[in-house]
Amino acid sequence: MRIALDEARTAAEAGETPVGAVVLDPASGEVLARAGNHPIGAHDPTAHAEIAAMRIAAEKLGNYRLTDLTLVVTLEPCAMCAGAISHARIGRVVFGAEDPKGGAVVHGPRFFEQPTCHWRPQVTGGVLADESAELLRGFFRARRKK
């Protein structure tokens, strides 16, 4: 999660919403990919940290299936990212702060609990949640003052 937080800080420095993600292989401990949010800079509404990290990992492995890998992200994934996580067959998702407004794992549609969801990863939430949430709060507080 510390690596994901570093990616979130880098995103914030670029003016992007501070969310960071890491894909790792729990068997080896290897970090396969790391990314931060960048939809503004990339002019791409799908350039969320989770999507970017999964794309990098898939390219590195030469396979879109990321079975048995772990995705660590600083914020509860949205519906788009939850769908991509399911399609990639990620084995485990670890997230920091909950997102009552835009989250889709423990809030909103609870994507992985739907009968139409074809792959359900293990989910662990609340890891370094306060630090993740404060990074987001501070970012938006500073933007409102401008």
Give the pLDDT score at 144: 83
Q: Would you list which residues are annotated within the binding site?
A: 48, 78, 81
Residue 146 has pLDDT above 80, yes or no: no
Please, what are the domains in the chain? 1-125 (3.40.140.10)
Give the global pTM.
Answer: 0.95
Q: Cα–Cα distance between 143 and 61 in angstroms, integer? A: 38
Give the pLDDT score at 68: 95
Residue 84 has pLDDT above 70, yes or no: yes
In DSSP terms, 73 is beta-bridged to: 21, 95
Q: Would you list which residues are annotated within the binding site for Zn(2+)?
A: 48, 78, 81
50 is catalytic: yes
b vs e for 58-79, b when ≥16 Cβ sit within 10 Å of the residue's Cβ? beeeeeeebeebbbbbbbbbbe
Active-site annotation holder among 30, 50, 59, 98? 50
Please state the rounded mean pLDDT for residues 72-86: 98
Please state the rounded mean pLDDT for residues 59-83: 98
Could you report the per-residue pLDDT of 127-142, keeping only the tens digit for each?
999 999 999 999 999 8
